[in-house]
A = this chain, B = another copy of it.
Amino acid sequence: MTDNREQAIFEAGIKLGALYHQWVGTPVSQRSAASVESAIEQAVILQPFVEEITVRLDRSLMTENIFGYSELSGLMFDAEIVTRVGFAYCRARLAPQDGYPLMRIMECHEIPSVSHHG
C-alpha cells in the first residue's frame, strides 16, 4: 500500500498536471499576467490536499503577436506547490529546464506524530 508521503507526492503531480493543461493557451499580456497568476492560485488552493501554491508567469516570454498580446505557454510557468496528506508534506515545482516545462519533486518530509504512550 501507499503511505501518506506517497499520496502527497501523487497529489502534487495531479495538481501540477492539471493547472498546466487548464491554463495553457489563455490569452495573456504583461499587464494581465497578475490576474492570471491570482486566478490560478485561487483555483488550485481549492483542491484537496493543497497547502500552498504560488504561480509566477515569466513576463519576458510574453512577446506580442500582431494583435499585441501573447498566449500562456508551458515555459512561462514557475509554479510551486506544497501538498499535505496526514503529516506528510511534498513540495513540487513546475519550471523550465533545458527548454522543457519540467515538473519535479523538490522535497518531501514527514512531521513525526506525537507518540502515544502505552
* A55 CA to B112 CA, complexed, in Å: 39
B67 touching A100 by the CB < 8 A rule? yes
Known: A43-B32, A47-B69, A65-B100. A9 touches B17 (CB 8 A): no
Q: How many residues of A contact B (CB 8 A)?
A: 52
Instruction: Say whether B28 contacts A43, CB under 8 Å.
Output: yes
Interface residues of A (CB under 8 A from B): 2, 5-7, 9-22, 24-29, 31-32, 35-36, 38-39, 42-48, 65-69, 71, 73-74, 92, 98-100, 103, 105, 108
- Could you list some 26 contacts between A and B, CB below 8 A? A6-B108, A10-B10, A10-B12, A10-B105, A11-B13, A12-B13, A13-B16, A13-B17, A14-B103, A17-B21, A18-B18, A18-B21, A19-B21, A20-B21, A21-B21, A24-B25, A25-B25, A27-B47, A31-B42, A32-B42, A35-B42, A38-B39, A46-B68, A46-B69, A67-B100, A73-B73
